[in-house]
Structure 1
Amino acid sequence: MRGRPDLRAECADCFGLCCVVPAFSASADFAIDKDAGQPCPNLGQDFRCGIHTRLRQSGFRGCTVYDCFGAGQKVSQVTFGGRDWRRAPDTAKRMREVFPVMRDLHELLWYLTEALTLPAARPIRDDLGAALEETERLTLGGPDALAALDVEAHRRKVNVLLLRAGELARAEAGAGRRRKDHRGAVLIGARLKGADLRGASLRGAQLIGADLRGADLRGADLIGADLRGADLRGADLTGSVFLVQSQLDAAKGDATTRLPPSLAHPAHW
């Protein structure tokens, strides 16, 4: 987010952790199989991707929609003090364990930072601020502390606040109308062209391939919504809550798609 560059990936300061830690299988998103902890064959000795500018054309679409929220550089430069897993192989195992934990914490930091900007969330601002400080503190733990952290328990605690913030924002955006509740709904391929979804809850909704052309999503809570292949051409997402760049990267849109100021139109739209 603006003012939080630490929550945006800076690959030049990372040891290619997203190219090593996750596993993936040959599919529409990945051209090959790769085991967890195995470096991708496209990862260079300088920890840069050798096909970064042509990932989609090379069959690695999944890589283009992944976001570590800055966790990669945090683990590489702070947690492990700049020691990389190639020159210090004793760090490799612990680094692989810590990276997913840090990624989850940084994702929570993104959501909490956004929640604190929502005018409607003013009644719980102190609680949000305290949760942000606690999450920041956890990210500064050593490798052993991070590996042992019950990050899911922390996520559940923070999610109570994020849910409340989303409800407050939706109430403001949907004032005077019945707000739709599609939390966790299966809306794969749904025909929602031109739909009025102002202030709707779409938390965790499966919107894969949904037709959302021209839909009004202002003030909608989109945390965790699966937008892979969703058609957002002409949709209005200004003021939507908890939308992240990777969701847009996985969707389809064009220059007429209206976005929150903290996000950008993907290059492939």
Structure 2
Amino acid sequence: MDRERAVPDAVDPGLRADCGSCFGLCCVALPFAASADFAIDKDAGRPCPNLRTDFRCGVHSQLRQRGFTGCTVFDCFGAGQKVSQVTFGGQDWRSAPGTARQMFDVFPVMRQLHELLWYLTEALTLPAARPVHAALRAALEKTQGLTRGSAQELLALDVPAHRGEVNALLLRTSELVRAGVPGRKKQRRGADLMGARLKGAGLRGANLRGACLIAADLTGADLRTADLIGADLRDADLAGADLTGALFLTQAQLNAARGDAATALPPSLTRPAHWQARPAAPADPRP
């Protein structure tokens, strides 16, 4: 157990995607363009041609090979099943096409709220943030209440304003936790570190909020207790890096990066299937 967390992570199962309880919303509601991440163009509200009638992906096991890497990176934080089963009471957009437009518009709103719930839940596991636990708990309960609103209420919600309120608490949480890390912490909030050579870098307790780390070499880097909220880790190499206790790291960020079996992760996150296994040690040439 890392020093910054005295209690185990207790992520609400409702904040993890349950595709079996969703009406394929990420495959319909969201647009994408032909690129390195997607093989085709698709408009918002148009079903992906790979979506089956049972709302499951017909090429799920071959997404990366077929040019749909972006699908393997995306994480809805459980918003898909919440919209499908709670907001719309289990009525799907195929059997009730009149609900489709509204359902698709609600989905990205719900995803943002569930992302905030993920961060708030994590913040409440951090003993160093105890001075703001009451405020964090109040924000968590308020956000949970918002997710239970009607479709009309969700669409009328000022999400940026609510996100701003929550972000202020998350920033204070980060400051409290990182203050307990010994030594001078690097302040690289919003920094452009695309392709940066940071192999073995000492980034423990660093402020990397919103930093661009696309294709950065972070192999063997010490990222313990670094604040990574909103950091762009697409194609960043995390092989052998230590992300133990990294603050506000999400599954989507890991999915977008590269790593291996030696990458140390927070217990609430899963090692992506596409990450490479630890290279085998060279054979001993001695007889």
Same-fold status (TM-score > 0.5) = yes
| Alpha-carbon separation, structure 2, partners of 1:168 and 1:191 | 29
Aligned with residue 213 of structure 2, among 196, 207, 210: 207
* Partner residue in 2 for 1:102: 110
1:146 aligns with 2:154: yes
Shift of 1:116: 0.3
| Alpha-carbon separation, structure 2, partners of 1:73 and 1:2 | 20
SS at 2:257 equivalent: coil
Structure 2 contact 121–140 (Cα < 8 Å) conserved: yes
1:75 aligns with 2:83: yes
RMSD of aligned Cα (Å): 0.8
SS at 2:179 equivalent: helix
| Alpha-carbon separation, structure 1, partners of 2:108 and 2:11 | 24
SS at 2:107 equivalent: helix
Matched length: 267
Gap runs ≥5 in structure 1:
none
| Alpha-carbon separation, structure 2, partners of 1:211 and 1:91 | 46
Aligned with residue 226 of structure 1, among 226, 232, 236: 232
1:93 aligns with 2:101: yes
Q: Give the residue type in structure 2 aligned to 1:99.
A: F
Gap runs ≥5 in structure 2:
1-8, 276-287
| Alpha-carbon separation, structure 1, partners of 2:84 and 2:256 | 27
Aligned with residue 170 of structure 1, among 178, 184, 193: 178
SS at 1:260 equivalent: coil
Aligned with residue 217 of structure 1, among 217, 223, 227: 223
* Partner residue in 2 for 1:57: 65
Q: Give the residue type in structure 2 aligned to 1:134.
A: K
Identity of aligned residues (%): 71
| Alpha-carbon separation, structure 1, partners of 2:175 and 2:11 | 25
TM-score between both structures, scaled by the size of structure 1 = 0.98
- Following superposition of structure 1 onto structure 2, how do residues 240-251 of structure 1 map, counting pairs within 5 Å? 240-251=246-257
* Partner residue in 2 for 1:186: 192
| Alpha-carbon separation, structure 1, partners of 2:175 and 2:200 | 23
* Partner residue in 2 for 1:260: 266
Please list every run of at least 4 consecutive aligned residues from structure 1 whose deviation after the TM superposition is greater than 3 angstroms.
none
| Alpha-carbon separation, structure 1, partners of 2:11 and 2:70 | 28
Shift of 1:265: 1.0
Shift of 1:2: 3.5
Q: Give the residue type in structure 1 aligned to 2:255.
A: D
